[in-house]
Structure 1
Amino acid sequence: MNASETMVIVGAGHAGGRAALTLREAGFTGRIVLIGDEPHLPYERPPLSKALLKGESDLAACSLFSEANFIASGIEHLSGVKATHIDPARHEAVLDSGVSVGYSKLLLAVGGTSRSLDLGGRSFDNMHYLRTYDEAVELEKHLTPGTRLVVVGGGFIGLEVAASACERGCDVTVLEAGTRLAARALPERTSEALLALHRREGVTIHLGARIKRFIGETHVEAVQLADGTCVPCDLLLVGIGLQPNLELARQSGLETGSGIRVDRYLRTSAPDVYAAGDACEFPGIDGGFQRQETWRNAEAQGRIAALNMLGQEQPFIGVPGFWSDHYAFGLQTVGVLAADARIVQREGGDGGFLLLYLDSRSRLTGASGWGLGNSIAKDIKLCERLIESEVVLPVDALADAGVSLKGLLRGAYA
C-alpha cells in the first residue's frame, strides 16, 4: 500500500476504531477516514452498563485512545454523519451530508441499534435503551436510591443494568419472557446461578413474563403483566437485544444474511469492501455462518480486517467467547456450546463451576464458567487452548478439579 491510497471506515465504534489504529500501527501512511454518527471518538461498550452506570468510569476511561493520540495518528474523524450508499464500482461512499468520499479499501463496521418495543406509536419520557455512551449518561442520572426500575429483558444488558442499579440503591424488577435468564447464550446451570445471585441481591425477577400494557400517558407509572401482576415503575429500561445495521449494505447490493456476509478474510461480496463487528456474518468454526455481538469479536475482527485491507490475507478464526460481570461474580464462555454435546461438570470453590462440552470423540468444543471475581479466567483460557488443540480428553480427569487443565493440554495428568 502507498501513501496516495485512502482507507475509509464506516462506523466509529470499537471495531472501526481498532481497525483505524491497526492500519497506522501496521505502517500505513495514507489517508484514513473514520465515519461515525456519534460525536465521540471510538470507545468500548462493556463499561456502559457497569462501571459508568455506577459512577466509577467516564468516557475517557472507555475510549480506545486519547484525543491527543488520535490527532497525532492523523486519522480523519467525520462525526455526526452517516453513510447512505456505497458505490463499489466507483469506490465511493456517499454521506447524508451529500459529500462523497473515495476509497481504495473500505471497512463496514456499522454495528447495530437496540431492538425497540412496539408501542403502537406511543412514547414514554421515562423509557430508556442502552447502546451508546450518551444513553448511559442519561440513564445514570436517574439511578438514585429508592428509584423503582423495571427492566424489560433478562439478557446480559438488562441484568448488568439491574446489578448496577441495585448497587446504587434502586428497587429493581426484571421482566423476562423466557423460562430462564439469558437462555440463548448460557447453559441452564449458569442461568440458574445467575437467577439465584440476582435474587439474593434483592432483584425481583419474573420469568415467563408477558406484558399486557404500560399504565400511564407520557410516563410509565406501572407495567401490568398478563397474569394480572402490576409492577410500579419510576424508570423503565428496555434490553431486548440488538438489531444489526444492514440497510447500507443491502442498499449497496452487498450479500447479507443475518449480517453482512463475508469470507474467512472478512471480505464482503463487493471488491475492496470488508466488514467487521456486530453486523458482520462470518464463517464459524462449526461450518455455518454466525454473528458475534461481543467485545472480543469487535477487537479481533477490527484488527484482522485492517491487516487484510493492507493485503496480509490473514484468516479470521472466530472462536466465540464472552464474559459478563454481576456483583462479585463473573461468567465466561468460550467455544461452541452444542445442544447435543456431552457436558462434564467441574466443581470449584465458593459456588464456582466449569461446564465442559465434548464432541463424540471426547474433544473439547466449548466451556462455560462461573465464579467469584475473575477466578475462572485462567481455566477459560486453558479451555480455549484445549479447543484449538483438538486433543482427546479423559472424561474422569476433566471432572476432577484436582487434575490440572494445563496438564491435560500437555497430555499429562498433573
Structure 2
Amino acid sequence: MSQPETLVIVGAGQAGGRAALTLCEAGFTGRIVLIGDEAHLPYERPPLSKALLKGETDLAACSLFSEASFIASGIEHFKCVRVSAIDPAAHTLRLSDGSSLGYSKLLLAMGGASRTLDLQGRGFNNVRYLRTADDAVTLEKKLTPGTRLVVVGGGFIGLEVASSARERGCEVTVLEAGSRLAARALPERLSEALLTLHRRKGVTIHLGAQIARLNGTDRVQSVALASGECVPCDVLLVGIGMQPNVELAREAGLSTGSGIKVDAYLRTSAPDVYAAGDVCEFPRGDGQLHRQETWRNAEAQGRLAALNMLGQSEPFNSVPGFWSDHYEFGLQTVGVLAADARIIEREGAEDGFLLLYMDAHSKLVGASGWGVGNSVAKDIKLCERLIESQVSLPVEQLADASVSLKGLLRGAHA
C-alpha cells in the first residue's frame, strides 16, 4: 500500500495559512504540515499597524482560523520552529529542533524580515520594528498619550503607524530620506495627498532627512539630522521595508533573485517545490519577474499554489492591488502603475480622486484612488474589470467624473 502524500508548507503567514486552508477545502486527505516560527495561528498582517495597534481588535479577530476550526482541520502546526535546510533531491527538510521531515510537495511561503537600521553598534532598548503580532503588541503598549514617537521611513508601515499613534495622542515625527512619501509605490499626487493629510493631523514630516547620529546610552533620546536639527525621542519605530527570506532556498540550490524565482504556475526550479507570497518572484505579462509585498498577492498566490500542488496546473495571472488606511482617508490601487503610462486624473468628492493609467492603445492598465473611508472601493473594482476587459477606452470620458465607469464597462462588453 502506498503511503499518503505529505504536503508541507514552510511559513505560517497569510500565504501559508491560506494555502493550508485551501488544501482542506479542496478535500485533500493526506498529511498537511504547516511550519511557522511564531507561536500563533496564521493571521492577517494589515491590522497590525492599524486596528490592532490602536487597541480596536485582538489577534484572534485577525486570525485565518479559530482555534476550534484549526483543530478540526487536522493540519499539523509546528510552532516556533524554523527549517534549517532543504534537500530537494531527497524531498526532506531539516528542522531547527534537530528533527527531519519528508515531503511529497513543498510550499515555501516564508515571507521576510524587517530591514534593520544601523544602530552604530549600540543596543538601544526603545527601537521597535513592526512585522509580527508580537511586535504590534509590544509597540501598542508604548503608544500612550504624549509619547514622542519618531518614525524612520515614510512608506506605508511608517505612515500607518504614524496615523495610529496620532489617534492615540502621541507626538509623531516621520523621517523620510526620499524627496516624497511612499515614492517607490505611489505617483506624486498620492504622495502629496498623504503629506498634506499627515501634516494636517499634526505629524511633523522631514523629507530628504539624513540621520547623522542617534543620541543616548541605553535608549535613543534624540535623533540628530544632517541638517543640524535634533528630534527628541521616546520610541523609535523603524519602517524601512522588508528583506525576503531567500537564504534557505538559495542554500538549497533553488533559483533566486530578489525572491525565490518561480514559473507561471508558482513552481520553483526544484521538482515538487512551490513558492508564494512576499518571498515569491513571479513572471508577469511584461516578461519580467516581479515580487509583491501585499495582502492581496499573498492571499491569491497561497490559494493557487495549494491548488497547483494538487494538480490543477493553473497559471498565476491575478491583477495586483493594495490598500492603505490613514485616519479617515483610504487609498487603493489596482493593476500596474507603469511609469511610462499616460495618467488621466478623475476628480471625486471631498478631496478624493482617481488616477487612471493608460497604455499606448488607450487600454487601462492600472488605477489608484484616494478618498474618505472606503469611497474609492467601488470605482477601483470597476477599474479592475476594465483592466481585465483589455479594450480601448475613450480618454476624454474617463477624465469626466459625470461619466459613469459602470457605463464605460457596459460599453466595453457590448
TM normalised by structure 2 equals 0.98
How big is the shift at 1:204? 0.4
Answering whether residue 225 of structure 2 is matched by residue 241 of structure 1, we say no
One-letter amino acid of the structure 2 residue matched with residue 337 of structure 1: L
One-letter amino acid of the structure 2 residue matched with residue 214 of structure 1: L
How big is the shift at 1:310? 0.1
* Structure 2 contact 391–412 (Cα < 8 Å) conserved: no
Identify the residue that residue 126 of structure 2 maps to in structure 1.
Answer: 126
* Structure 1 contact 357–365 (Cα < 8 Å) conserved: yes
One-letter amino acid of the structure 2 residue matched with residue 22 of structure 1: T
Answering whether residue 116 of structure 2 is matched by residue 116 of structure 1, we say yes
How big is the shift at 1:3? 7.6
Identify the residue that residue 250 of structure 1 maps to in structure 2.
Answer: 250
Identify the residue that residue 49 of structure 2 maps to in structure 1.
Answer: 49
SS in 2 for 1:41: coil
Q: Pairwise mapping of residues 82-97 of structure 1 onto structure 2 (< 5 A)?
A: 82-97=82-97
Answering whether residue 60 of structure 2 is matched by residue 63 of structure 1, we say no
* Structure 1 contact 3–31 (Cα < 8 Å) conserved: no
Distance in 2 separating the partners of 1:309 and 1:3: 17
Identify the residue that residue 207 of structure 1 maps to in structure 2.
Answer: 207
Answering whether residue 136 of structure 2 is matched by residue 136 of structure 1, we say yes
Q: Pairwise mapping of residues 195-234 of structure 1 onto structure 2 (< 5 A)?
A: 195-234=195-234
Instruction: Render the CA deviation track for 1:153-189: whole Å, top value 9, x for unaligned.
Output: 0000000000000000000000000000000000100
Identify the residue that residue 384 of structure 1 maps to in structure 2.
Answer: 384
* Structure 2 contact 8–107 (Cα < 8 Å) conserved: yes
Distance in 1 separating the partners of 2:283 and 2:108: 17
Answering whether residue 382 of structure 2 is matched by residue 370 of structure 1, we say no
Instruction: Render the CA deviation track for 1:311-337: whole Å, top value 9, x for unaligned.
Output: 001111142210000000000011111
One-letter amino acid of the structure 1 residue matched with residue 12 of structure 2: A
Identify the residue that residue 106 of structure 1 maps to in structure 2.
Answer: 106
SS in 1 for 2:243: strand
Identify the residue that residue 34 of structure 1 maps to in structure 2.
Answer: 34
* Structure 1 contact 362–395 (Cα < 8 Å) conserved: yes
Identify the residue that residue 285 of structure 1 maps to in structure 2.
Answer: 285
* Structure 1 contact 107–275 (Cα < 8 Å) conserved: yes
Once the two structures are overlaid, the 10-residue window that deviates more, 187-196 or 315-324, is 315-324
Identify the residue that residue 338 of structure 1 maps to in structure 2.
Answer: 338
Which runs of 5 or more structure 1 residues have no equivalent in the other structure?
A: none
How big is the shift at 1:412? 6.9
Identify the residue that residue 169 of structure 1 maps to in structure 2.
Answer: 169
Instruction: Render the CA deviation track for 1:330-358: whole Å, top value 9, x for unaligned.
Output: 00011111111111000000000000000
One-letter amino acid of the structure 2 residue matched with residue 348 of structure 1: G
One-letter amino acid of the structure 1 residue matched with residue 212 of structure 2: K
Which runs of 5 or more structure 2 residues have no equivalent in the other structure?
A: none
* Structure 1 contact 404–413 (Cα < 8 Å) conserved: no
Instruction: Render the CA deviation track for 1:113-161: whole Å, top value 9, x for unaligned.
Output: 0000122321210000000000100000010000000000000000000
Q: Pairwise mapping of residues 289-328 of structure 1 onto structure 2 (< 5 A)?
A: 289-328=289-328
* Structure 2 contact 119–214 (Cα < 8 Å) conserved: no
Instruction: Render the CA deviation track for 1:231-283: whole Å, top value 9, x for unaligned.
Output: 00011100000000001000100000110000010000000000001000000
Answering whether residue 304 of structure 2 is matched by residue 275 of structure 1, we say no
Identify the residue that residue 160 of structure 2 maps to in structure 1.
Answer: 160
Count of residues in Structure 1 that have an aligned counterpart in Structure 2: 413
One-letter amino acid of the structure 2 residue matched with residue 207 of structure 1: L
SS in 1 for 2:277: coil
How big is the shift at 1:286? 2.5
* Structure 1 contact 110–245 (Cα < 8 Å) conserved: yes
* Structure 1 contact 285–319 (Cα < 8 Å) conserved: no
SS in 1 for 2:322: strand
Distance in 2 separating the partners of 1:19 and 1:95: 21
Distance in 1 separating the partners of 2:390 and 2:380: 15
Once the two structures are overlaid, the 10-residue window that deviates more, 24-33 or 116-125, is 116-125
Distance in 2 separating the partners of 1:342 and 1:97: 54
Over 3 Å counting, the alpha-carbon distance change for 1:412 and 1:339 in structure 2 is closer
- When the two chains are superposed, the root-mean-square deviation of aligned CA atoms in Å is 1.3
Over 3 Å counting, the alpha-carbon distance change for 1:413 and 1:371 in structure 2 is farther
Flag as ranges the 4+ runs of structure 1 deviating above 3 A. none
Over 3 Å counting, the alpha-carbon distance change for 1:30 and 1:350 in structure 2 is same
Identify the residue that residue 77 of structure 1 maps to in structure 2.
Answer: 77
SS in 2 for 1:349: coil
Identify the residue that residue 194 of structure 1 maps to in structure 2.
Answer: 194
How big is the shift at 1:367? 0.5
Distance in 1 separating the partners of 2:403 and 2:256: 45
* Structure 1 contact 3–28 (Cα < 8 Å) conserved: no
* Structure 1 contact 259–280 (Cα < 8 Å) conserved: yes
SS in 1 for 2:278: coil
How big is the shift at 1:413? 12
Once the two structures are overlaid, the 10-residue window that deviates more, 292-301 or 281-290, is 281-290
How big is the shift at 1:409? 1.4
